[in-house]
Amino acid sequence: MPFAVYGGICFKCNGAGKFYTKRGRVAAAFLQRLRERTLAEIKPGMLIYYQGFSAGSFSVPSKFYAVQSIGELKPTGRSKSGDGPWVQNYGHDIVCDGMTMGTQADTLHRVGQTGLGKRETLRLALDFQDVLTKTGTVRKGATFPTAEEVLATMDTSGWLVQNPAPEAAQK
């Protein structure tokens, strides 16, 4: 069955030539969550992934950046949804390798992992996939912790790449 294509790029696979089954998509989402942390869990020296962009002659590459500091909560502007009232937005600044990015407290960020972390998260995701049906739901009678439960009960500190804090690197 042909898929919708625009400019040579398939909508279903986004040009990758392959796509996940329902079961694989749920397991991939589980893996992704194991490799992400909230702002409260991010500390200076950790690596976080920044999705880069290109704006004409100016571009920022997609890569892992070392966190130097995390700013306090501050007003970031106001927004309005439809006919609703204007609301004040708040956010934090994360300074990484001389670049500042704004974020919300509940935003998840992909963090850099050691080889051990990558292997362990992949193993957990494959184990999770084994208890899923073809439709991506957990089989009857099977139990498996959620990604949040795994992160809350396991010591994952050895999974994360730790660069020296900027202050320590300068001494």
SS (H, E, C) 59-80: EECCEEEEEEEECCCEEEEEEE
Listed residue (143, 162, 154) closest to 120, CA to CA:
154
| Cα–Cα dist 133/42, whole Å | 34
pLDDT at 75: 84
Q: Are residues 42 and 83 in the same domain?
A: yes
Which pTM does this prediction carry?
0.77
One digit per residue, the tens of pLDDT, for the chain of length 171 reads 456 666 777 777 777 778 888 999 999 999 999 999 988 888 898 999 988 888 888 888 888 989 999 988 888 888 888 888 888 888 888 888 878 888 888 889 999 999 999 999 999 999 999 999 999 999 999 999 999 999 899 888 888 887 655 554 444
pLDDT at 4: 66
63 has which bridge partners? 50
Looking at the structure of the chain, the number of domains it has is 2
Q: Are residues 58 and 101 in the same domain?
A: yes
Q: Are residues 89 and 107 in the same domain?
A: yes
Residue 6 neighbours by CB under 8 Å, 6+ apart: none
CB 70, CB 93: distance < 8 Å = yes
Q: Are residues 143 and 120 in the same domain?
A: yes
CB 76, CB 90: distance < 8 Å = yes
Listed residue (116, 95, 94) closest to 38, CA to CA:
94
Q: Which domain holds residue 105?
A: 38-112
pLDDT at 168: 46
pLDDT at 5: 67
Is there a domain that residue 78 lies in?
yes
Is there a domain that residue 10 lies in?
no
> Is the Cα torsion angle 9, 13, 15, 18 positive or negative in sign?
negative
Q: Are residues 28 and 46 in the same domain?
A: no
Q: Are residues 133 and 95 in the same domain?
A: no
Cα→Cα distances 55→28, 58, 59, 62, Å: 30, 5, 6, 14
Composition of the chain by helix, strand, coil, percent to 5 = 25, 35, 40
pLDDT at 169: 45
Q: Are residues 102 and 162 in the same domain?
A: no
